[in-house]
Amino acid sequence: MLKRVFPNIYEGWIVVGASGLVMMLSGSTFFYGLSAIFTSLLIEFQWSVAATSLAFSLRTEVQGLTGPIIGLSIDRLGPKFTIMTGIIVAGLALFALSFINNLLQFYLVMLISALGIGAAGGQVGMAAVATWFVKKRGRALSIMTVGGGISGALVFIVAWLVESFGWRMAVQILSVYYLVIGIFCAFNIRSRPTDHHQPMDGIAEINNNPLNQIRGYGLRMALKKNALWAISISTSFCLFAGVPVILLTIPFLESLDYSKTTASTGMIAFTVSTVIGRLGSGYLADIYGNKKILIIGYLFVSIGTGLLFFADTLYLTMAFLLIIGPGFGATIPVRASLIAEYFGTTSFGTINGFCVFFSSFGAVLGPWITGKLVDITGSYSYGWLIVGLLSFLAIPILFFSKPPVHNNIEA
């Protein structure tokens, strides 16, 4: 659609923009936005922190379990079909969330939404964008993921909607916003056809290099490589700390007697700082290499999360979030760029889907363990410390891994 409006723009950048908008929508509703209703659910239903966190964890686990299937759908049916289906399922599930009355219904709706958001998330956009770029792949992926960072800043609006209209009406408003804009964006997301009239990256001389053809490993061959396991395991440890920070920062600040709207400013600080990490990491990765920048991102996440142990005010919390944010933001585009660098783009969707599946274990355990420690100790401090220390393991795992010897070879 948009390529007809902007015929002189390299279509890859249109795919980047549309994919980024979908990430913004998904983040502002499901990934960051639902944290704004966390305390409302605790108050209305008298659930424990661990039980409520588990629903978010199960959602993440379902997204992980379906990662390989979604990846296969991307490679076989195309990003447009996959993301369109995901947006419709996720949007309807979000609307249904406003009608829940018990914990079982909450779990069921969250699981259904996970099926949709997995197919409408960054995994699809990354797979599409990676096929349109070679020299500028890192920066293209980083620009795309900025949408996810911007979405965190919209938590303030979600918090305002919850306080103004109640969490049920707020969720209904979000579902309509998600469906209308999401479906429009989905029409503009596709993989690069092999006979596309524009040169790769929009730079004519790139097409003359045979190494830049869209080729690479299949999943079966990639699974035999140490590098894929190192990327997957290290990502899991990173999410072990990163996901609890995203989910529990607002409830944590509310536990320090700040209002929901004031507490949301902490999440805004975090997500705005992720934009710095997302944008900067793409350019730096194209210059210094994906692996080095990804390790630095892991280091920031681990140190910052561990330091939250000492946070007892909004300002101190925000200071530590400004350490975590750039690191976490950097890991998102650079991990995808590293997978494309190591294994090519022929089966990028499936290989990246496997990584999403494996890394989801950390994303599930992190929030649940943190929530359990809150229920036991009455404080978030020890949860932050433990997940921060364990996430440090991501660094040596990736650092000592070796890249595949033969890149860009069909397998």
State the residue for tokens 């890394």: 359
pLDDT band at 25 (very low <50, low <70, confident <90, very high): confident
Identify the pLDDT of residue 61: 62
In the chain, the amino acid numbered 338 is: L
Identify the pLDDT of residue 406: 58
Q: What is the pLDDT of residues 285-318, one digit of tens each?
A: 888 999 999 999 999 999 999 999 999 999 999 9
Per-residue burial over 50-65, b = 16 or more CB atoms within 10 Å of its CB, e = otherwise: bbbbbbbbbbbbbbbe
**Whole-model pTM?**
0.74
In the chain, the amino acid numbered 4 is: R
Q: Say yes or no to pLDDT of 246 above 90.
A: no
Q: What is the pLDDT of residues 199-225, one digit of tens each?
A: 888 777 655 444 444 457 888 899 999
Compute the average pLDDT of residues 230-245: 94
Q: What is the pLDDT of residues 97-137, one digit of tens each?
A: 999 999 899 889 888 888 888 888 778 888 899 888 888 88
SS3 344: strand
CB 308 within 8 A of CB 386: no
Structure-token pair, residue 337: 């760029």
Q: What is the pLDDT of residues 58-75, one digit of tens each?
A: 666 666 677 788 888 888
Report CA Rg, the chain.
20
Among 254, 259, 245, residue whose Cα is nearest residue 303: 245
Q: Please tell me the distance from the alpha carbon of residue 182 to that of residue 179, in angstroms, as a whole number.
A: 5
CA dihedral 32, 178, 297, 290 (to 10 degrees): 170
Compute the average pLDDT of residues 161-187: 90
Compute the average pLDDT of residues 364-385: 90
SS3 322: helix
- Burial of 334 per CB tally in 10 Å (0-12, 13-18, 19+): buried
Q: Give residue 3's Cα distance to chain centre.
A: 26
